[in-house]
Amino acid sequence: MTRKVKNIGVLTSGGDAPGMNAAIRSVVRSCTYYNLQCFGIHKGYEGLIEGDIRELNARSVRNIINKGGTFLKSARSQEFRTPEGRKKAYDNLVKYGIDGLVVIGGDGSFTGALKLSEEYGFPVVGIPGTIDNDINGTDYTIGYDTALNTVVDAIDKIRDTASSHNRLFLIEVMGRDAGDIALNAGIGAGAEEILIPEEDMGVDRLIESLKRSKKSGKTSSIIVVAEGDKSGKNIFELGEYVEEHLKGYEVRVSVLGHIQRGGAPSCYDRVLASKLGVGAVEALLAGKTEVMIGVVHKNITEVPLRTALEKKKYKHDKLIKVADITSI
């Protein structure tokens, strides 16, 4: 029989994402609802190792549902990657009587949680929080929808000036290994071309396509480039290459950077975070461990953390075709 969990710890780890606060709030209030004690662990695994842990109650999380970032703060901890670091973390969990851990983060954070479970049998549940949407087994990760809206809003503004000056803009968006932001925001903002890590378009095909667009009467162009694209050039080198090989356009480069990670979460992200927080606490209460709470076709689902870490099976082909057709 599984021992009933009484004290739940919650932390945010890795790159922050809008909606993480809403997820923490939901975890804390689910604990109150189910008569569990909740502990907030500051700075992700770093705070777990240092013992930076405080009790939270329903009122500790007031007025945060609308705030970007994470009030628990996030960190990338090298020490947690070592067995010694994880031992310190485990000792602190025991010291505070924590018997279940909710990890809000991305693939790296889930890998760390799995290690804690494997080495100490410690119950862990993951909530996908990253703007990249690069987690398998969930349609959406917390922060992704907000980031898309931020990117579309920024590109709309760039479009105004691009068209006034007949310029070609290369706009870099986040997504180290995933093209979800680039592809979806690119379609939403009407980009002419979209370069993603999953598909190597090749610079020559890019130039040919831009030439065709120009010939068809286009006077300005937006190219969205994911951070991890496979052109083999950084965005500034790519800008120079395009200017050299495509006559008649002035080229400008804009790197959107960390504005994509901040700002008030969209309603979608707030609701998603609220659902996943409840799901995570209920999973721990039901004796589950090594699972991620996600959303598939609007339903809250549980998938093994190991499945969440697998490469996404989803193919971008159909969306790429939509992008090609609608930018003709």
Ligand X SMILES: Nc1ncnc2c1ncn2[C@@H]1O[C@H](COP(=O)(O)OP(=O)(O)O)[C@@H](O)[C@H]1O
Catalytic residues: 132
Q: How many CB atoms lie within 10 A of CB 285?
A: 18
Q: Does 279 bind ligand FBP (CB under 6 A)?
A: no
In the window 67-86, what residues touch ligand FBP (CB under 6 A)? none
Residue of 9, 15, 68, 279 interacting with ligand FBP (CB under 6 A): 15
In the window 99-158, what residues touch ligand FBP (CB under 6 A)? 106, 130-132
Are the beta carbons of 41 and 53 closer than 8 angstroms?
yes
Task: Tell me how far CA of residue 145 lies from CA of 151, 216, 240, 263, in angstroms.
Answer: 10, 33, 32, 12
DSSP for residue 141: -
CB of 176 to Mg ion, least distance (A): 7
List CB contacts of 16: < 8 A, sequence separation 6 or more.
Answer: 68, 69, 70, 74, 129, 143, 261
**174 annotated ligand binder:** yes
In the window 81-120, what residues touch Mg ion (CB under 5 A)? 106-108
- Cα distance between residue 262 and residue 250, in whole Å: 31
Q: How many CA atoms lie within 13 A of 276 on its CB side?
A: 37
Q: Does 108 bind ligand X (CB under 6 A)?
A: yes
- By a kind-dependent CB cut-off of 5 to 8 A, residue 115 interacts, out of Mg ion, ligand X, ligand FBP, none, with ligand X
> Interface with ligand X by CB under 6 A: which range of 13-21, 161-169, 204-212, 284-292?
13-21
List CB contacts of 211: < 8 A, sequence separation 6 or more.
Answer: 246
Q: How many CB atoms lie within 10 A of CB 254?
A: 19
In the window 15-34, what residues touch ligand X (CB under 6 A)? 15
Ramachandran quadrant class, 179 (left: phi over 0; alpha: psi -120 to 50; beta: rest): alpha
CB of 312 to Mg ion, least distance (A): 13
Binding-site residues: 15, 25-29, 76-77, 106-109, 130-132, 159, 167, 174-176, 190-192, 218-220, 227, 252, 258-261
Binding-site residues for ATP: 15, 76-77, 106-109
Binding-site residues for substrate: 130-132, 167, 174-176, 227, 252, 258-261
Q: Which residues bind ligand X (CB under 6 A)?
A: 13-15, 45, 76-77, 80-81, 105-109, 111-112, 115, 130
Q: Which residues bind Mg ion (CB under 5 A)?
A: 106-108
